[in-house]
Amino acid sequence: DVKVTQSSRYLVKRTGEKVFLECVQDMDHENMFWYRQDPGLGLRLIYFSYDVKMKEKGDIPEGYSVSREKKERFSLILESASTNQTSMYLCASSLRTGGEKQFFGPGTRLTVL
């Protein structure tokens, strides 16, 4: 089975802090994704990556950046955390491009005070 792990289940940060969320997958998947999940809004795509060092903006990239230095690892960075970035963050991976099913990590519940 695919395993996607995220570095923290719960995180509390202060406004203005730089925040790193880490995601690792163990199945040699090409694609990795970062979503945020908010009540009533469903999953919204922040950034995705289809290869090492490649990244593409999703639907809501503002206030975020990403890094993919190794195939198995995809990091989400909040340059200066704000209270409206309080959310559940979900990482996912899929084998290759083109509408493949995505496998999700357990999520990180981030609270920005």
Which stretches of the chain bind other proteins, using CB under 8 A? 4, 37, 39-43, 45, 48, 50, 56, 58, 88, 90, 97-99, 101-107, 109
Cβ neighbours, 10 Å, residue 59: 10
Q: Which is nearer to other proteins, 48 or 64 (CB)?
A: 48
> Taking the complex as a whole, how short is the minimal distance between the CB of residue 80 and other proteins, in angstroms?
25
> Taking the complex as a whole, how short is the minimal distance between the CB of residue 6 and other proteins, in angstroms?
8
> Taking the complex as a whole, how short is the minimal distance between the CB of residue 24 and other proteins, in angstroms?
14
Q: Which is nearer to other proteins, 7 or 104 (CB)?
A: 104
> Chain centroid to CA 86: how far?
14
> Taking the complex as a whole, how short is the minimal distance between the CB of residue 107 and other proteins, in angstroms?
5
Q: Which is nearer to other proteins, 79 or 105 (CB)?
A: 105
CA 59/CA 45 separation, integer angstroms = 5
